[in-house]
Amino acid sequence: METYDIVVLGGGSGSQVATAAAERGLEAAVVEPGPLGGACITRGCVPSKALIHRADVVEAVRGAEAFGVDAQLNGVDYDGITDTIHETVFAKADGQEARMREAENVTLYRGEGRFVDDRTVAVERNDGNGTEEITGETVVIAVGGRPMVPPIDGLEDVDFRTSDDALFLDERPDRLVIVGGGYIGAELGYFFGALGTDVSIVGRNELLVPREDDAVSAAVTESLENYCDVYTGYEAAEVEAVDGGRDGEGVVVTATPSDGIDDRDGGETVELAADDLLLATGRRPNTDAIGLEETGVETDDEGYVETDDRLETAVDGVWALGDVIGRQPYKHAADYEARVVMRNVLDDAGETVDDEAMPHAIFTEPRVASVGQTEGDLEDAGREYEVATVPYDAAPLGLILEADDGFVKGLAGPEGEILGCHIVGPQAATLLHEVVVAMDGGGTVDDVAGPVHVHPALNEVVHAAFDELSASEYSTAPDWRDAGDG
């Protein structure tokens, strides 16, 4: 049995701990059955955003006339798009694997890993050549998650897709039902809708992306109604295979009003026919098949690994990060958690996770980016706060881009502390970062409102919102809707 200083289960963000250890001269092993890079690289955020970029291009061509440009959309090579993206992302995964194999002090095990005891892992090799046991002084659990399949009557008799396989379809479906109104459902609803699919989204809450600030959820829901038939306040109760569809089989989804919501279309049941069914009902951790019952590692009722604030589990020397701990379901959060584990394992830093300023984005049209608390969070907590909401046309570039539905919403405490920021509109994910930097450094609204901002640029919208929140008696953010641009 091979012994290592560090064994990492998972070839995504957790593998960074192994490579960092190897650079220190320690012996490390990574156990991964699939492509390296985790879900993000080959079946998550990277290919999905590549697809969405194509949808943006299509939308730009369609809307060109509004800007005085005569352009026509003569067709979309859907198969060519997905083939190109597939080749690109898997080439990246292959390149990552090649670099790991070439690195010193790192051994890559291609197969499924399962705990035998607290620090011993049996690896069932992908090549069929049996099982091999390895052990590590330190073990990191970073096996990620997978799409959740909800209990819907009839689902076992119907072909369906999840986000794992919906990204690389050979042909665009003519009709698609998406069950799930969260981030994945909203983003893929926009993509398929923009490319011409008749999309129906079934979401159990009153608004799509319900975890967002209410103003954001309302904006996304209203926007998606331009691309999809949106059934909020509904649940998929039953599915049935029917004749039809591209391959001779279609599906009918019967949706009923969610519990406590009975005013959708009079509270009536609706039937939605489609060629394809996409389930986007969340993700679950991959902890049910790695033998945690053979260890002292504890999990919660949903299967997420429980850790302390340093990301160490109930077993000394066994750590966890990423989707398996369920703190923040984002790739950038997993990368941050990997850095925390690196410092604690390699330097005994005693560093704790601080995700108060953890940002995220939703790639619909318009874009969304958020950090910190929502107004609903603050109201539920009974916390005192100030709010400023500024439309995109407060900046000249916002007027030029005709971003009529865009806004920046800033939330601040009584001492000017930044409690949250929510942006809807072009370049939202980029604009958010000056707020993230200020929050992460313990800054106040004055740290965003005070610095000179480039003119004309969209960051003037962020400036305007935080200038409104600022305690300074000197306003430096003119309202370009009313003032001349001098």
Range 218-233 average pLDDT: 96
Does residue 474 fall inside a structural domain? no
Q: What is the pLDDT of residues 323-372, one digit of tens each?
A: 999 999 999 999 999 999 999 999 999 999 999 999 999 999 999 999 99
Co-location of 296 and 309 in the same domain: yes
Co-location of 95 and 244 in the same domain: no
Does residue 360 fall inside a structural domain? no
* Contacts by residues 164-170 (CB-CB < 8 Å, ≥ 24 positions apart): 164/39, 164/43, 166/278, 167/43, 167/47, 167/48, 167/51, 167/82, 167/85, 168/47, 168/82, 168/85, 168/86, 169/78, 169/82, 170/79, 170/82
What's the pLDDT score for residue 472?
Answer: 65
Question: 397, 363, 283, 295: which is closest to 329 by C-alpha?
Answer: 283
Band of residue 485 on the pLDDT scale cut at 50, 70, 90 = very low
Taking the CA atoms of residue 160, residue 164, residue 169 and residue 174 in that order, the dihedral angle to the nearest 10 degrees is 50
Tell me the average pLDDT of the chain.
93
Band of residue 105 on the pLDDT scale cut at 50, 70, 90 = very high
What's the pLDDT score for residue 400?
Answer: 81
What's the pLDDT score for residue 144?
Answer: 95
Does residue 91 fall inside a structural domain? yes
Does residue 483 fall inside a structural domain? no
Co-location of 47 and 119 in the same domain: yes
Whole-number Å distance between alpha carbons of 32 and 8: 9
Co-location of 136 and 13 in the same domain: yes
Co-location of 324 and 257 in the same domain: no
Range 301-329 average pLDDT: 97
Query: Which range of residues forms the domain containing residue 399?
Result: 366-469
Question: 481, 381, 369, 363: which is closest to 434 by C-alpha?
Answer: 369
CATH number at residue 240: 3.50.50.60
Which residue has 């798009």 as its token pair? 81
Band of residue 39 on the pLDDT scale cut at 50, 70, 90 = confident
Co-location of 116 and 79 in the same domain: yes
Co-location of 13 and 132 in the same domain: yes
Instruction: Give the end of a domain, one of 258, 281, 304.
Output: 281
pLDDT value at 399 more than 50: yes
Range 248-268 average pLDDT: 77
Band of residue 394 on the pLDDT scale cut at 50, 70, 90 = confident
Catalytic machinery residues: 455
Band of residue 486 on the pLDDT scale cut at 50, 70, 90 = very low
Co-location of 98 and 133 in the same domain: yes
Counting the structural domains of the chain, the total is: 3
pLDDT value at 262 more than 60: no
Question: 180, 293, 172: which is closest to 235 by C-alpha?
Answer: 180
Does residue 485 fall inside a structural domain? no
Instruction: Give the end of a domain, one of 250, 281, 312.
Output: 281
CATH number at residue 423: 3.30.390.30
Co-location of 177 and 225 in the same domain: yes
Co-location of 94 and 76 in the same domain: yes
Co-location of 12 and 27 in the same domain: yes
Question: 161, 234, 173: which is closest to 198 by C-alpha?
Answer: 173
Higher-confidence position of 210 and 265: 210
Instruction: Give the end of a domain, one of 251, 281, 311.
Output: 281
Co-location of 100 and 207 in the same domain: no
